[in-house]
Amino acid sequence: MFDAPEFLRIGIFYYMVFVVSLTLHEAAHALFAKWLGDLTAYEGGQVSLNPLPHMQREPFGMIVAPLASYAFGGWMLGWASIPCDPAWASRYPHRAAVMSAAGPLANLLLVVVAGLAIRLGILLDWFQLPDVLKFHMIVGVQLMHPATFNVATILSLMFMLNLMLFVFNLLPLPPLDGSSVIMLGMSEEQARRWQDFLREHDYLPVVGILLAWQGMKYVYPTFQFIAVSLLYPEQQWAVG
Protein backbone atom coordinates (compact mmCIF):
# COMPACT_ATOMS: atom_id res chain seq x y z
CA MET A 1 0.00 0.00 0.00
CA PHE A 2 1.29 3.46 -0.92
CA ASP A 3 2.29 5.42 2.19
CA ALA A 4 2.04 9.08 1.18
CA PRO A 5 3.43 10.62 4.40
CA GLU A 6 6.46 8.29 4.31
CA PHE A 7 6.99 9.00 0.60
CA LEU A 8 6.92 12.73 1.37
CA ARG A 9 9.24 12.35 4.38
CA ILE A 10 11.82 10.44 2.35
CA GLY A 11 11.42 12.88 -0.55
CA ILE A 12 12.21 15.90 1.63
CA PHE A 13 15.41 14.33 2.95
CA TYR A 14 16.28 12.93 -0.49
CA TYR A 15 16.08 16.40 -2.04
CA MET A 16 18.11 17.96 0.77
CA VAL A 17 20.89 15.40 0.26
CA PHE A 18 20.61 15.73 -3.53
CA VAL A 19 21.12 19.51 -3.42
CA VAL A 20 24.03 19.29 -0.97
CA SER A 21 25.69 16.56 -3.04
CA LEU A 22 25.43 18.40 -6.37
CA THR A 23 26.47 21.69 -4.79
CA LEU A 24 29.62 20.17 -3.27
CA HIS A 25 30.38 18.39 -6.56
CA GLU A 26 30.20 21.59 -8.61
CA ALA A 27 31.91 23.73 -5.97
CA ALA A 28 34.84 21.28 -5.99
CA HIS A 29 35.09 21.59 -9.78
CA ALA A 30 35.03 25.37 -9.50
CA LEU A 31 37.57 25.53 -6.67
CA PHE A 32 40.07 23.30 -8.44
CA ALA A 33 39.58 25.23 -11.68
CA LYS A 34 40.43 28.41 -9.78
CA TRP A 35 43.48 26.85 -8.16
CA LEU A 36 44.67 25.53 -11.52
CA GLY A 37 44.23 28.77 -13.45
CA ASP A 38 40.68 29.00 -14.82
CA LEU A 39 38.77 31.75 -13.00
CA THR A 40 35.59 31.46 -15.08
CA ALA A 41 33.54 29.55 -12.49
CA TYR A 42 35.00 31.58 -9.62
CA GLU A 43 33.91 34.80 -11.29
CA GLY A 44 30.51 33.25 -11.90
CA GLY A 45 30.04 32.58 -8.18
CA GLN A 46 30.31 28.77 -8.35
CA VAL A 47 33.11 28.47 -5.77
CA SER A 48 30.42 28.32 -3.11
CA LEU A 49 28.66 25.83 -0.87
CA ASN A 50 25.55 28.00 -1.19
CA PRO A 51 23.27 26.06 -3.55
CA LEU A 52 21.61 29.20 -4.95
CA PRO A 53 24.31 30.09 -7.55
CA HIS A 54 24.23 26.50 -8.80
CA MET A 55 20.43 26.47 -8.89
CA GLN A 56 20.38 29.76 -10.76
CA ARG A 57 22.72 28.31 -13.38
CA GLU A 58 20.79 25.03 -13.74
CA PRO A 59 17.25 25.55 -12.37
CA PHE A 60 15.75 22.70 -14.39
CA GLY A 61 18.50 20.23 -13.49
CA MET A 62 18.59 21.08 -9.79
CA ILE A 63 14.94 21.84 -9.06
CA VAL A 64 12.40 20.73 -11.67
CA ALA A 65 13.94 17.45 -12.88
CA PRO A 66 14.75 15.90 -9.45
CA LEU A 67 11.40 16.81 -7.90
CA ALA A 68 9.43 15.62 -10.95
CA SER A 69 11.40 12.38 -11.29
CA TYR A 70 10.87 11.59 -7.61
CA ALA A 71 7.17 12.40 -7.74
CA PHE A 72 6.59 10.14 -10.75
CA GLY A 73 9.29 7.49 -10.32
CA GLY A 74 10.61 7.54 -6.76
CA TRP A 75 14.15 8.46 -7.90
CA MET A 76 15.81 11.85 -8.26
CA LEU A 77 17.46 12.59 -11.58
CA GLY A 78 19.16 15.89 -12.19
CA TRP A 79 22.34 17.71 -13.08
CA ALA A 80 24.39 20.85 -12.55
CA SER A 81 27.42 22.41 -14.22
CA ILE A 82 30.02 25.14 -14.00
CA PRO A 83 31.26 27.47 -16.74
CA CYS A 84 34.81 26.89 -17.92
CA ASP A 85 37.25 28.35 -20.42
CA PRO A 86 37.74 25.87 -23.31
CA ALA A 87 40.98 27.61 -24.29
CA TRP A 88 42.38 26.96 -20.79
CA ALA A 89 41.28 23.32 -20.94
CA SER A 90 42.97 22.90 -24.33
CA ARG A 91 46.15 24.61 -23.17
CA TYR A 92 46.33 22.57 -19.95
CA PRO A 93 44.50 19.26 -20.56
CA HIS A 94 45.99 17.55 -17.49
CA ARG A 95 44.85 20.41 -15.28
CA ALA A 96 41.40 20.12 -16.83
CA ALA A 97 41.45 16.40 -16.01
CA VAL A 98 42.29 17.09 -12.36
CA MET A 99 39.51 19.67 -12.22
CA SER A 100 37.09 17.08 -13.61
CA ALA A 101 38.17 14.51 -11.02
CA ALA A 102 37.49 16.94 -8.16
CA GLY A 103 33.70 16.63 -8.44
CA PRO A 104 33.42 12.84 -8.10
CA LEU A 105 36.05 12.88 -5.36
CA ALA A 106 33.88 15.35 -3.44
CA ASN A 107 31.04 12.83 -3.67
CA LEU A 108 33.36 10.09 -2.44
CA LEU A 109 34.22 12.31 0.54
CA LEU A 110 30.52 12.49 1.43
CA VAL A 111 30.31 8.68 1.20
CA VAL A 112 33.17 8.41 3.70
CA VAL A 113 31.66 11.03 6.03
CA ALA A 114 28.27 9.31 5.99
CA GLY A 115 29.90 5.93 6.58
CA LEU A 116 31.89 7.20 9.55
CA ALA A 117 28.76 8.80 11.03
CA ILE A 118 26.87 5.52 10.66
CA ARG A 119 29.64 3.58 12.39
CA LEU A 120 29.70 6.18 15.19
CA GLY A 121 25.94 5.79 15.61
CA ILE A 122 26.37 2.03 15.92
CA LEU A 123 29.11 2.54 18.51
CA LEU A 124 26.80 4.81 20.52
CA ASP A 125 23.90 2.32 20.26
CA TRP A 126 21.77 4.75 18.23
CA PHE A 127 21.94 2.52 15.15
CA GLN A 128 22.36 -1.18 14.59
CA LEU A 129 23.49 -3.46 11.78
CA PRO A 130 20.76 -3.84 9.16
CA ASP A 131 19.15 -7.07 8.01
CA VAL A 132 18.34 -5.73 4.53
CA LEU A 133 19.72 -2.68 2.73
CA LYS A 134 17.47 -0.18 1.00
CA PHE A 135 18.56 2.96 -0.81
CA HIS A 136 16.97 5.22 1.80
CA MET A 137 17.75 3.03 4.84
CA ILE A 138 21.05 1.17 5.00
CA VAL A 139 21.27 1.15 8.79
CA GLY A 140 18.97 -0.22 11.48
CA VAL A 141 17.69 2.04 14.26
CA GLN A 142 18.46 0.97 17.82
CA LEU A 143 17.20 4.10 19.58
CA MET A 144 13.53 4.26 18.52
CA HIS A 145 13.12 8.02 18.34
CA PRO A 146 11.82 10.04 15.34
CA ALA A 147 14.96 12.19 15.27
CA THR A 148 17.23 9.12 15.20
CA PHE A 149 15.12 7.57 12.43
CA ASN A 150 15.38 10.77 10.37
CA VAL A 151 19.14 11.00 10.86
CA ALA A 152 19.48 7.37 9.76
CA THR A 153 17.50 8.18 6.60
CA ILE A 154 19.66 11.22 5.81
CA LEU A 155 22.93 9.33 6.34
CA SER A 156 21.67 6.40 4.27
CA LEU A 157 20.70 8.66 1.39
CA MET A 158 24.00 10.54 1.63
CA PHE A 159 25.98 7.30 1.48
CA MET A 160 24.05 5.67 -1.37
CA LEU A 161 23.38 8.74 -3.53
CA ASN A 162 26.97 9.95 -3.41
CA LEU A 163 28.30 6.48 -4.12
CA MET A 164 26.09 6.44 -7.20
CA LEU A 165 27.21 9.93 -8.27
CA PHE A 166 30.86 8.97 -7.77
CA VAL A 167 30.61 5.86 -9.94
CA PHE A 168 28.35 7.40 -12.59
CA ASN A 169 30.44 10.53 -13.12
CA LEU A 170 33.69 8.58 -13.44
CA LEU A 171 32.42 6.48 -16.35
CA PRO A 172 34.72 7.47 -19.27
CA LEU A 173 31.88 8.68 -21.48
CA PRO A 174 31.04 12.24 -22.55
CA PRO A 175 29.70 14.45 -21.08
CA LEU A 176 30.59 12.79 -17.76
CA ASP A 177 33.67 13.78 -15.78
CA GLY A 178 35.32 10.46 -16.54
CA SER A 179 35.69 11.44 -20.20
CA SER A 180 38.12 14.14 -19.04
CA VAL A 181 39.69 12.26 -16.14
CA ILE A 182 41.04 9.62 -18.55
CA MET A 183 43.28 12.33 -20.04
CA LEU A 184 45.54 11.89 -17.00
CA GLY A 185 46.69 8.68 -18.66
CA MET A 186 47.46 10.40 -21.96
CA SER A 187 50.23 12.67 -23.15
CA GLU A 188 49.18 16.31 -23.50
CA GLU A 189 49.10 16.00 -27.29
CA GLN A 190 46.93 12.88 -27.11
CA ALA A 191 44.67 14.63 -24.62
CA ARG A 192 44.22 17.60 -26.95
CA ARG A 193 43.32 15.30 -29.82
CA TRP A 194 40.78 13.61 -27.54
CA GLN A 195 39.31 17.01 -26.63
CA ASP A 196 39.09 17.94 -30.33
CA PHE A 197 37.37 14.63 -31.09
CA LEU A 198 34.74 15.27 -28.42
CA ARG A 199 34.13 18.83 -29.63
CA GLU A 200 33.84 17.80 -33.27
CA HIS A 201 31.15 15.20 -32.59
CA ASP A 202 28.37 17.04 -30.78
CA TYR A 203 26.11 13.97 -30.71
CA LEU A 204 28.48 12.11 -28.36
CA PRO A 205 27.04 13.51 -25.08
CA VAL A 206 23.62 12.07 -25.92
CA VAL A 207 25.11 8.70 -26.85
CA GLY A 208 27.34 8.82 -23.76
CA ILE A 209 24.45 9.41 -21.37
CA LEU A 210 22.45 6.55 -22.89
CA LEU A 211 25.42 4.19 -22.66
CA ALA A 212 26.22 5.31 -19.10
CA TRP A 213 22.61 4.81 -18.02
CA GLN A 214 22.66 1.25 -19.33
CA GLY A 215 26.20 0.56 -18.14
CA MET A 216 25.42 1.48 -14.54
CA LYS A 217 23.31 -1.67 -14.24
CA TYR A 218 26.45 -3.72 -14.76
CA VAL A 219 29.08 -1.51 -13.10
CA TYR A 220 27.38 -0.05 -10.03
CA PRO A 221 26.46 -3.28 -8.15
CA THR A 222 30.14 -4.18 -7.79
CA PHE A 223 31.00 -0.80 -6.30
CA GLN A 224 27.97 -0.96 -4.01
CA PHE A 225 29.02 -4.41 -2.79
CA ILE A 226 32.54 -3.17 -2.05
CA ALA A 227 31.33 0.00 -0.29
CA VAL A 228 28.77 -1.77 1.89
CA SER A 229 31.22 -4.58 2.68
CA LEU A 230 33.68 -1.96 3.93
CA LEU A 231 30.91 -0.30 5.95
CA TYR A 232 29.78 -3.59 7.49
CA PRO A 233 32.73 -6.01 7.37
CA GLU A 234 31.19 -8.11 10.12
CA GLN A 235 27.98 -8.93 8.29
CA GLN A 236 26.61 -10.44 5.08
CA TRP A 237 24.07 -8.16 3.43
CA ALA A 238 21.30 -8.12 0.88
CA VAL A 239 19.77 -5.32 -1.14
CA GLY A 240 16.05 -4.77 -0.80
In a domain, 82, yes or no: yes
Residue 132: predicted pLDDT: 84
Range of the domain at 132: 4-231
Question: 4-36 and 65-73 are packed helices; what angle lies between their axes, rounded to 10 degrees?
Answer: 150
In a domain, 240, yes or no: no
4-51: pLDDT as tens digits: 999 999 999 999 999 999 999 999 999 999 999 999 999 999 999 999
First to last CA, the chain: 17
In a domain, 239, yes or no: no
Q: Average pLDDT in the 94-122 region?
A: 98
In a domain, 38, yes or no: yes
Residue 238 has pLDDT above 70, yes or no: no
Q: Average pLDDT in the 156-169 region?
A: 98
In a domain, 238, yes or no: no
Residue 237: predicted pLDDT: 55
In a domain, 236, yes or no: no
Helix (H/G/I), strand (E/B), else coil: 126: coil
In a domain, 21, yes or no: yes
Tell which residue, 156, 163, 137, 136, has the closest CA to residue 221: 163
Q: Which residue has the higher pLDDT, 238 or 70?
A: 70
Band (pLDDT 50/70/90 cuts) for residue 146 is confident
**pTM for this prediction:** 0.95
Number of structural domains, the chain?
Answer: 1
In a domain, 237, yes or no: no
Rounded CA-CA distance 24/32 in Å is: 12
